[in-house]
């Protein structure tokens, strides 16, 4: 995985910057689509609450509410849209975090932390994909899936949220490190 980040760091800035901007635009566009579809599904709670209950009975209750309102099919479509959103998130981890890492000198603490931020984002995205895939197992039998299926589903959701939070913190540290390196007039950036 680090080799991918190294190849991205080695890209000319005139290539990497548009890739980073494009990933943000894709992320924002798909987030709008995802949020609209989630709202239309009538899911009774917000994303985080719905994904982290660790309770099959609770999740079945959410599904029952959507079955009753006739919107479960919209929720299933929302799960598919989420994969497009996740792709944007992965691209941000790869391109934006690599761009942030480039603020710092080659081989510096700030650059390493920026790459670790990107890795955390990518691993968070992968966790999100697994969580989404797992939801389809439960949605195949929304009223009667085995309750234990909620445990890995919620576990991957919690892991996703933790990795994203960690990645954001690392990105912030990388930015500060890059700025500090410039203020202290460290050697020219790579």
Question: pLDDT (tens digit, 9 = 90+) per residue, 101-143?
Answer: 999 988 899 999 999 999 999 999 999 999 999 999 999 999 9
Segment among 159-163, 171-175, 178-182, 184-188 with least mean pLDDT: 184-188
CB contact burial 46-69 (16+ within 10 A = b; e otherwise): eeeebbbbbebebbbebbebbeee
User: Distance between CA atoms of 181 and 120, rounded to whole angstroms?
Assistant: 23
Which one-letter DSSP state was computed for residue 53? Answer: -
Tally of domains in the chain: 1
User: Distance between CA atoms of 127 and 136, rounded to whole angstroms?
Assistant: 15
Which one-letter DSSP state was computed for residue 143? Answer: T
Average pLDDT over residues 141-169: 98
In a domain, 13, yes or no: no
Q: Is the pLDDT of residue 41 over 70?
A: yes
In 3D space, the residue among 168, 10, 14, 179 whose CA is nearest the CA of residue 160 turns out to be: 168
pLDDT for 184 equals 85
Give alpha helix (H) positions in 42-108: 47-51, 56-69, 72-91, 97-101
Cβ(132)–Cβ(79) below 8 Å: yes
In a domain, 149, yes or no: yes
- How many C-beta atoms lie closer than 10 Å to residue 146's C-beta? 10
Average pLDDT over residues 165-181: 96
Quick one: tokens of 120? Answer: 């955390």
Mean pLDDT for the chain?
95
In a domain, 26, yes or no: no
Q: Is the pLDDT of residue 37 over 80?
A: yes
Quick one: tokens of 57? Answer: 């009975």
Work out the pLDDT band at 185, boundaries 50, 70, 90: confident
In a domain, 141, yes or no: yes
Structural domain of 145: 2-8+35-183
User: Distance between CA atoms of 62 and 49, rounded to whole angstroms?
Assistant: 11
In a domain, 19, yes or no: no
Q: Is the pLDDT of residue 75 over 90?
A: yes
In a domain, 111, yes or no: yes
Query: Which stretch of DSSP H or E encloses residue 185?
Result: none
The single residue listed with the structure tokens 């203020």 is: 183
In a domain, 162, yes or no: yes
Q: Whole-prediction pTM value?
A: 0.93
User: Distance between CA atoms of 160 and 86, rounded to whole angstroms?
Assistant: 11
What is the phi/psi pair of residue 53, to 5°?
Answer: -80, -25
In a domain, 114, yes or no: yes
Q: Is the pLDDT of residue 90 over 60?
A: yes
């Amino acid at each position: 995985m680090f080799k991918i980040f190294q190849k991205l760091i080695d890209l000319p800035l005139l290539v990497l910057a548009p890739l980073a901007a494009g990933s943000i635009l894709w992320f924002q566009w798909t987030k709008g689509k995802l949020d609209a579809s989630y709202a239309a599904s009538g899911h009774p709670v917000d994303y985080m609450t719905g994904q982290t209950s660790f309770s099959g009975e609770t999740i079945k209750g959410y599904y029952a509410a959507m079955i009753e309102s006739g919107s479960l099919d919209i929720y299933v479509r929302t799960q598919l849209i989420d994969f497009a959103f996740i792709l944007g998130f992965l691209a941000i981890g790869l391109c934006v975090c690599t761009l942030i890492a480039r603020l710092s000198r080659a081989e510096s603490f700030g650059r390493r932390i920026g790459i670790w931020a990107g890795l955390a984002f990518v691993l968070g995205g992968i966790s999100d994909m697994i969580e989404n895939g797992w939801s389809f197992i439960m949605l195949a039998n929304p009223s009667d899936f085995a309750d234990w299926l909620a445990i890995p589903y919620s576990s991957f959701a919690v892991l996703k949220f933790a990795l994203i939070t960690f990645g954001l913190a690392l990105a912030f540290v990388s930015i500060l490190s890059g700025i500090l390196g410039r203020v202290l007039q460290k050697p020219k950036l790579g």
